[in-house]
A and B are shown apart, each in its own frame.
Chain A
């Protein structure tokens, strides 16, 4: 009977570390985004080159969706830009065989959520509030959890409508 306690202790800590690894596995599988097919540097485009967000995300002021830019917008510059980098070769390759770049979705809302970019832009919300200051970011990453708490907190702070039917489809 005497050496049962170490086994119990070990069992307890083994389950605890298994739980931790479980959190890790869950994060790695569902929340940890895959690397993008092309490592598009936002800081160069939005930062150094000073491009406006709406230059590429064209429909952010007109529709609920900001939309990832069409390939023709990328090619309008990169068709004959001189910079040589492996990422641009990948882009040219996608463009030549007329295949759109399958970007990995980073920011996504649940199905039952109605979120309109247009409404937020018209209400004067900066892109950086939710997406962070893109002029400094190399790789797009979630900087906000987009949990209900985050949204409702902001709505309460700026007395935006807090009615359930505002966001629940």
Chain B
């Protein structure tokens, strides 16, 4: 070989090797130890700690417990034993954890300088506000403070701030202020508040218009009390409403009343009781005479109910030992709503509910809540340039006030607008100073769960951003050096008489010992009202559109949380997109649920018009339509000029098809069981073993100690979807967005599938992976990524899955979900949402199938705990996330091999059924429904 060739070869060889070794720069993981180990007694690295806090998603004040792993709260659940919500949170409460970690949260104070908002320090912002205040005072302008419902010590602090700095504290603004109910109670019982309704102590509940399950006052405690009452045995619940709602379906009986006919119904009931001398408290003679009479026929025609319905209802109501009448929602937020409320109050007084099932000691604490009249008055003062600094905290009136008030323009006239909130909105766009509020879990505070119970909270996580709680802001504005936490603890000592703060926080709430005293009806006030007002309103002519508060967004405040929009509505299963629910009679056009094509309708009312896709709601009465409140065009809203109630009933609304169709992400493919008997009719129910178990490739499995199973009681299930939100957060399920839902790619592991029956009832089927004994999905997996383990679970081994999706294809229950994208890259877990991830559950990457695993990680830590005490797992020791979240204990989980376990007993009730049992999949979940119970009972 010549020297030149040799040199050439050596050069080539060495260059190749150097080239290959220039790899990526080193990125090895680091372990950062503590400087000093935290001396928190129940802290164990990597294990969960539990701290009490309060859910601040709405002003109900439910007690909550935050599960904290490595100092990050990763799950919020109701605080067990709390008098208001005893261990459960509503769907918005479960999802409110996202509000803490959401990347769009406001992170530092900002001041508008020359049109643009600039980040400033807190001192600078506070000084700017105080200058504004002094400037306003000197120029004779009044500064005002408008906040959402404020209770507990914050309210006292707000009063002292108002008096000290000459700021006028306006009545609190809540979109659903129940002004008519409170006006009626102040007329009859001179208490400007709404009582607590003790449903669990009543044996006959008549609810008129009040959406108890969705949003009325405290949906969680309503559902819990309904469950307790039903468990008590003899409890009937009749719900009367003009349109279709989830509450209506979940009641024992649902009656449709003509829009505006509620007052006639109540008048008939009152007359019936008075004329037959029923009830405990007689009316005074002149009140009785002044009462307009209403014949059976008049009542029937005004309400649209049949005569024997009325009769049957009146008798049942009169004969009930502890009847309870709850009026609200669409019944009172309409013209003439006040007379309905007054009539209801009189019935409550006559039938002796006051003091028993209607309890003013445990009232809602809404006495300092104003109404739209106060907003109107504020708007006028603003237009008259009398307002200096306008503080707006924890509320966004611009989003919910009728457009006719032109609040936005008038707010422009204030000298300075100081907005205290945690997310951007149209309010922050016109704000001069934005003071970001800390999340409930980052701040001290107390909230009145009711006038008798105050829930207390202490920060459970260190602040994510440079934010302050409203209490701290007020202390700074008052120039106090002390921070809100210390002031609050001293406040608790004097007001609640509690010395040991830690014990109080551990308990989570304190009894204020409030008592409204002995309440009697003010006869002559009632008398003057009855004589002065026309009690029964005229039924609306033409079409009526109801704007109902949504279970997912309440008055629109929860739309900040993407999870609440991702979870579909329990009735229409629509997740993204505005829509209006119309009746079949409106024949708006052809619906194709599979391709998600929905007809577009134009809705006119009160001079405004909207074009929306229409969802044909089965059983919806003719020419009645409903829309989610936050999706309504605000110019269709009006105000009751007398009480300031927000009128959410749009009379003379017309819904007519436009012939066009549009895409609407309604996740359910259809709403009828197509004779598949998913939920068998009473009577033709099949028994255990009637269907032989299907074949499977794998050997027969013998379960030694555990055979995990579940029982779901569809009668107690209210369809509130708290379980769906809890499952999303517990198992790190990504929020994917509208375009994925339009393609039918939903990610939730549990879905509430509504099935509408001809007889006007609806069954919502809670559907998740059935952990089938002979699972059709196991045989088709080419890589053994899903198999049946020896404890009865269909386990998904995520890192083996190669994404053929054949298992999804083979699953008759359609409960498997596929990760089309790597949702971490797609931003579903944008910083700091990664801190919300549950470390015990693997975040599935792209191309992996996922499904409910009966919270395998909870089973594993339960067994781990039991193994430490070398015993088997006791019944009820392991709670799966949906079971823990369910307010009505509809879901029971446990070991089917343990004969005296709760789930075994429930699974043996002979009126149980399994979904699609005829396919031979031998599922581990047994269901039972009301229909079966009746036939069984």
Which residues of A come within 8 Å of B, CB atoms?
10, 13-14, 17-22, 24-26, 28-29, 33-34, 58-59, 62-65, 67-73, 95, 98, 100-105, 108, 110-112, 114, 116, 118-119, 122, 163-165, 168-169
- The one of B17, B35, B787, B843 that contacts A18, using a Cβ cutoff of 8 Å: B17
Of A14, A98, A168, the most chain B CB neighbours within 10 A belong to A168
Considering only residues 225-257 of chain B, those with a C-beta below 8 Å from chain A are none
Q: Report yes or no: B46 in contact with A64, Cβ–Cβ below 8 A.
A: yes
- Is B519 an interface residue, CB under 8 A from the partner? no
Q: Given the complex of chains A and B, what is the CA–CA distance between A112 and B840 in angstroms?
A: 9
Do A25 and B795 have beta carbons less than 8 Å apart?
A: no
Contact B790 A163 (CB under 8 A): yes
Inside 8 A of B20's CB, which chain A residues have their CB?
Answer: 18-19, 21-22, 24-25
Across the A-B interface, give the 4 residue pairs with the lowest CB-CB distance, nearest first.
Answer: A21-B20, A29-B23, A70-B34, A25-B23
Inter-subunit contact B19/A71 (CB<8 Å): no
Please give me the residue from chain B that is nearest to A110 by CB atom: B799
Q: Is the interface of B mostly helix, strand, loop or mixed?
A: loop
CA separation between A58 and B46, bound complex, in Å?
Answer: 13
Q: Is B24 at the interface (CB under 8 A from chain A)?
A: yes
Return the contact of A105 from the options B19, B30, B843, B867 (Cβ within 8 A): B30
Q: Contact string, B20-54, partner A, CB cutoff 8 A, digits 1/0?
A: 11111110111111111100000011110000000
Report yes or no: B795 in contact with A28, Cβ–Cβ below 8 A.
no
Kindly list chain B residues whose C-beta atoms are within 8 Å of the C-beta of A13.
13
Within 8 Å of chain A (Cβ to Cβ): is B703?
no
What are the residues of chain A within 8 A of B799 when measuring CB–CB? Answer: 110, 112, 168
Pairs A–B under 8 Å by Cβ, sample size 11:
A17-B17, A21-B21, A24-B20, A70-B34, A70-B35, A71-B34, A112-B842, A119-B867, A165-B789, A165-B797, A168-B798
Nearest CB in chain A: distance from B699 CB, A: 15
Q: Which residue from B13, B30, B36 sits with its C-beta under 8 Å from A70?
A: B36
Chain A residue nearest to B841 (CB atoms) is: A169
Q: Which among B17, B31, B37, B798 has the greatest number of chain A C-beta atoms within 10 A?
A: B31
A165 to B22, CA, bound (A): 40
Chain A CB within 8 A of B12 CB: yes
Q: Given the known A-B contacts A163-B790, A164-B787, A165-B789, are A17 and B795 also in contact in the complex, defined by CB atoms under 8 Å?
A: no
Residues of A within 8 A of B798 (CB): 112, 168-169
Is A111 touching B36 in the complex (CB atoms < 8 A)?
A: no
Verify if B16 is at the interface (C-beta below 8 Å from A): yes
Q: Are B26 and A34 in contact (CB under 8 A)?
A: yes
A67-B45, A165-B856, A165-B860 are known; give 11 further A-B pairs, CB within 8 A.
A13-B13, A14-B12, A20-B17, A29-B24, A58-B37, A65-B45, A112-B799, A114-B860, A118-B868, A164-B789, A164-B797
Chain B residues whose CB sits within 8 angstroms of the CB of A63 once the complex forms: 44-47
B409 is an interface residue with CB less than 8 A from chain A: no
Inter-chain contact A17/B13, CB cutoff 8 Å: yes
Contact residues in A for B843 (Cβ distance below 8 Å): 111
Asked whether A72 lies within 8 Å of B17 as measured between CB atoms, the reply is no
Q: Does chain A have a CB within 8 A of B857? A: yes
Question: In the complex, what residues of B have CB within 8 A of residue A28's CB?
Answer: 21, 23
Residue of B nearest to A148 (CB): B799
What residues of chain B lie closer than 8 Å to A10, measured between beta carbons?
9, 12
A164 and B800 alpha carbons, distance in the complex (Å): 11
In whole angstroms, what is the CA distance A118 to B798 when docked? 24
CB neighbours of B23 from chain A (8 A): 25-26, 28-29
Partner of A59, one of B9, B21, B45, B793: B45
Q: CA A69 – CA B32 in complex, angstroms?
A: 10
Q: Is the CB of B842 within 8 A of A101?
A: no
* B12, B17, B867: residue with the most chain A Cβ atoms closer than 10 Å: B17
> Given the complex, which residues of A lie within 8 Å of B790, measured CB to CB?
163
Q: Which B residue sits closest to A108, measured CB to CB? A: B29
| Chain A residues with CB below 8 A from B590, complex form | none
Q: Is the CB of A70 within 8 A of B21?
A: no
| CB-contacts of B757-813 with A (<8 A) | 787, 789-790, 793, 795, 797-799
Quick one: closest A residue to B24, CB to CB?
Answer: A29
Q: In the complex, A21 Cα to B13 Cα: how many Å?
A: 11
Q: B864 near A: Cβ within 8 Å?
A: yes
Complex CA distance for A76 and B400, rounded to whole angstroms: 61
**In the complex, how many angstroms separate the beta carbon of A63 from the nearest chain B beta carbon?**
5
Roughly how many angstroms separate A129 CA and B596 CA in the complex, as a whole number?
58
The 8 Å CB contact of A101, one of B25, B33, B46, is: B33
Task: Give the docked Cα–Cα distance between A98 and B28 (Å).
Answer: 23
Given contacts A10-B12, A25-B22, A165-B795, are A103 and B45 in contact (CB under 8 A)?
A: no
Whole-angstrom distance from the CB of B160 to the nearest CB of chain A? 39
Cβ contact within 8 Å between B857 and A169 = yes
* Closest Cβ–Cβ distance, residue A91 to chain B (whole Å): 12
Smallest Cβ distance from A133 to chain B, in angstroms? 22
Q: Determine the residue in chain B with the shortest Cβ distance to A62.
A: B44
- Give bound CA distance, A34 to B601, whole Å: 65
Chain A residues whose C-beta falls within 8 Å of the C-beta of B857 in the assembled complex = 114, 169
CB distance from A105 to the nearest CB of B (A): 4
For the complex formed, measure the closest distance between the CB of A147 and the CB atoms of chain B, giving whole angstroms.
13
A65 to B44, CA, bound (A): 9
Contact of A14 among B13, B47, B856 (CB under 8 A): B13
Known A63-B46, A122-B868, A169-B857: A100·B9 in contact at CB below 8 Å? no
Residue of B nearest to A27 (CB): B23
CB distance from B771 to the nearest CB of A (A): 12
Most buried by B among A13, A20, A29, A58: A29
Closest beta carbon of chain A to B2's beta carbon, Å: 12
Contact B17 A21 (CB under 8 A): yes
Q: Decide if A70 touches B33 in the complex (CB within 8 Å).
A: yes
- How far is the CB of A56 from the nearest CB of chain B, in Å? 10
B28 touches A21 (CB 8 A): no
Interchain CB contact (< 8 A) of A163 among B29, B37, B789, B842: B789
Other-chain residue from B35, B37, B795 in contact with A164 (beta carbon distance below 8 A): B795
A100 → chain B closest CB, angstroms: 5
| Residue of B whose beta carbon sits closest to that of A98 | B35
Across-interface contacts of B797 in A (CB, < 8 A): 164-165, 168
The docked-state distance in angstroms from the alpha carbon of A29 to that of B25 is 7
Known: A25-B23, A112-B798. A71 touches B33 (CB 8 A): yes
* A102 & B30 in contact (Cβ 8 Å cutoff): yes
A18 engages B856 (CB within 8 Å) = no
Given known contacts A71-B35, A111-B843, A169-B857, A14 and B16 CB-to-CB distance under 8 angstroms:
yes
List B contacts of A34 (CB < 8 A): 26, 28
CB <8 Å contact, B16 and A21: yes
Could you tell me the distance between the alpha carbons of A100 and B35 in the complex, rounded to whole angstroms?
A: 6
Contacts of A111 in B (CB 8 A): 842-843
Alpha-carbon separation in the docked complex, A33 to B29 (Å): 9
Q: A119 vs B860: C-alpha distance in the bound complex, in angstroms?
A: 12
Q: Are B793 and A165 in contact (CB under 8 A)?
A: yes
In the assembled complex, which residues on chain B have CB atoms less than 8 Å from the CB atom of A100?
A: 32-35
Distance in angstroms between the alpha carbons of A110 and B797 in the assembled complex: 13
* Alpha-carbon distance A4/B25, docked complex (angstroms): 38
Shortest Cβ distance from residue B322 to the other chain A in the assembled complex, whole angstroms = 49
In the bound complex, how far is the Cα of B798 from the Cα of A164, in angstroms?
11
Chain B residues with CB below 8 A from A22, complex form: 20
A79 to chain B, nearest CB (A): 13
B851 CB to nearest chain A CB (Å): 13
When distances are taken between beta carbons in the complex, the residues of chain B under 8 Å from A20 are 17
Q: How far is the CA of A19 from the CA of B26 in the complex (A)?
A: 20
> Shortest Cβ distance from A8 into chain B, in angstroms?
13
A-facing mask of B295-329, CB < 8 A → 1, else 0? Answer: 00000000000000000000000000000000000
Which residues of the other chain, B, contact A169 by a CB distance below 8 angstroms?
A: 798, 840-842, 857
Q: Which residues of B contact A18 (CB under 8 A)?
A: 16-17, 19-20
Q: A69 vs B860: C-alpha distance in the bound complex, in angstroms?
A: 27
Residues of chain B with a CB closer than 8 A to A116's CB? 864
How far does the alpha carbon of A56 sit from the alpha carbon of B860 in the complex, in Å? 28
Q: Are A104 and B33 in contact (CB under 8 A)?
A: no
Bound complex: CA of A122 vs CA of B36, how far in Å?
A: 27
Contact of B36 with A29 in the complex, beta carbons under 8 Å: no
A20 to chain B, nearest CB (A): 8
B37: A residues at CB distance < 8 A:
58, 70, 72-73
